[in-house]
Amino acid sequence: MLNLLAIQAQEKYKKGPNSWSFEGIPKGVVTQHEWKSSLFSNTIRDYYVYVPAQYDGSQPAALMVFQDGHTYVKKDGDFDVATVFDNLISQEKMPVTIGLFINPGHDMDAAEIESPWRASNRSVEYDEMSDKYARFLIEEMIPELEKKYKISADPKMRAIGGISSGGICAFSAAWYHPESFHKVLSHIGSFTNIRGGHNYPSMIRKTDKKDIKVFLQDGSGDLNNEHGNWWLANQQMDSALDYKGYEYTFVTGSEGHNGKHGGAILPESLIWLWSDMVEPKVASGIYHSTPNGKMMSGASMHFSDMNFGTKSIASTQGAIDIYDKVNEQILIIKEGEISAKLYGEKKIIGPNSVLFLLPGTNSIIESVSDQAQYYTMVYQSRETPDVSRGKETGSFIKDFEEIEFKEHNKGGVRNYFHTSTTMCPYYEMHMTNLNPGIKSHEPHTHRASEILLMIKGTTEMEIGNQLYRGKAGDAYFLPGNIPHAIRNTGKEQAMYFAFQWY
């Protein structure tokens, strides 16, 4: 994380693009329901269910429960969890997850209340140091949900979160029933002496470590009253969890007893919580080039394996056969001139020219310059390769000198190709010239994964809720469906390849 800046640093605790709604991102559905509890007798509450667009019932879904469901489900509130879920599920940063947002219970014989925050049973349910609320979930709410949806029984596929008293409630549920809840998200958690919650740090220290994963958030401006000091209490939790060797993180800020900070970092919180339940993939971000070496390697959303890096070739090496029977590959000339022979024809190409090879196609290359360098990406699709589709396109060479430059008000563009290949039904590359001081566009998303390869100048790239800075030779990697926008930070035109596929 050394090469990034949080967008929140630009404007404190402002929600970033991963909390925005974008066209083209599959949208889940939220429905509202009512529940009369048996365990908490004579109480009634509303609850909300979020079902992602990707849920089809073929596999059990992950589950995440939120206390004070009304505040987490509110579209114009601090969190708007449904929108964040939409984005992160589409980015494969979290599993297909059903959300259960539950309000605290209210006595059916008591006067009606204007806000669920004032529900009569809130403190009884949330602040008590017992397993009763967890049993309410395990015995009542989850079985009700399972009447309609397949929910995973694996505790690592279950998370629970809340704010204030809802935060300590989330921890209690996992503490007393780690076989049902593995992941905890606590925003400004009330680990104070409302109903004994101040005892948790010592209990953590003196009890055998439990199999739970905890994300804590709090601010230095949090409450300080007769029940205790929230900021100090969360620091005590941090110290105890660290002492006992728990998998946890504690993100601190300066806000008070509200959801501004927690809402701003919600996408990052969820990515961290669910990181053990999604396939490891090449991370979004910036990658720096070296004379001979890999820049990025691993699986991605659309590729079962991809390797992107640089290679050097000297004229003294003579001819080199570039061939791969099963993988596609693309070469982008970085420095010097190379002679490339393809389908029996030889062509000399220089910087920013491209050689594309289908699986099973060979090309003979040799350096015309004393020393040349090129970028290379070798990859295999997750889908079954379509050989006939690849034959329609064929392998090809694109010479930079032969590609038309089209000027526009932000700079200009060179369109290299827009096609389909054996591995990719969508395969597109262009080079952008971007004028100083401007963005190419505001944050947007698309299905395709993308590499932006810097050729000239300096830029700043928003990727999700993070900000990266790059220079010539660097490559930004953008997995599919992640919000992104690039800005030229230099005093001259920047140039970069934009290479997309799915």
Q: What are phi and psi of 57, to 5 degrees?
A: 80, 0
**399: Cβ contacts below 8 Å, ≥ 6 apart:** 347, 349, 353
Whether 442 maps to a domain, the answer reads: yes
Residue 240 sits in the same domain as residue 310 = no
Whether 410 maps to a domain, the answer reads: yes
From the list 3, 5, 6, the residue with the least C-alpha distance to 267 is 6
Residue 390 sits in the same domain as residue 419 = yes
Residue 272 sits in the same domain as residue 327 = no
The SS3 call for residue 85 is: helix
Contact call for residues 364 and 321 (beta carbons, < 8 A):
yes
Number of domains, the chain: 2
Contact call for residues 379 and 305 (beta carbons, < 8 A):
yes
DSSP lists the bridge partners of residue 57 as none
User: How much of the chain, in percent, has pLDDT values that exceed 70?
Assistant: 98
Residue 187 sits in the same domain as residue 115 = yes
Residue 260 sits in the same domain as residue 308 = no
Parallel, antiparallel, or unpaired: how do β-strands 406-408 and 411-419 relate? antiparallel
**346: Cβ contacts below 8 Å, ≥ 6 apart:** 339, 340
Residue 220 sits in the same domain as residue 117 = yes
Contact call for residues 259 and 15 (beta carbons, < 8 A):
no
Whether 203 maps to a domain, the answer reads: yes
From the list 399, 315, 302, 304, the residue with the least C-alpha distance to 350 is 399
In Å, the largest CA–CA distance within the chain is: 90
Residue 255 sits in the same domain as residue 298 = no
Residue 370 sits in the same domain as residue 243 = no
Residue 291 sits in the same domain as residue 273 = no
Using CA atoms, how far residue 165 sits from 121, 233, 348, in Å, is 12, 13, 69
CATH label of the domain that carries residue 260: 3.40.50.1820
What is the pLDDT at residue 5? 43
Parallel, antiparallel, or unpaired: how do β-strands 228-229 and 158-163 relate? unpaired
Distance CA 184, CA 180 (A): 12
Average confidence (pLDDT) over 433-456: 98
Distance CA 35, CA 319 (A): 74
Residue at which a domain ends, from 218, 249, 277: 277
CATH label of the domain that carries residue 483: 2.60.120.10
Residue 271 sits in the same domain as residue 294 = no
Residue at which a domain ends, from 242, 260, 277: 277
Residue 94 sits in the same domain as residue 212 = yes
Average confidence (pLDDT) over 401-425: 99
Instruction: Give tens-digit pLDDT for 74-108.
Output: 999 999 999 999 999 999 999 999 999 999 999 99
Residue at which a domain ends, from 277, 293, 326: 277
Instruction: Give tens-digit pLDDT for 475-485.
Output: 999 999 999 99
Whether 19 maps to a domain, the answer reads: no
Both tokens assigned to 298? 């691993």
Contact call for residues 132 and 116 (beta carbons, < 8 A):
no
Instruction: Give tens-digit pLDDT for 282-324.
Output: 999 999 998 889 999 999 999 999 999 999 999 999 999 999 9
Contact call for residues 68 and 166 (beta carbons, < 8 A):
yes
Query: Could you list the residue range(s) of the whole structural domain that residue 241 is in?
Result: 29-277
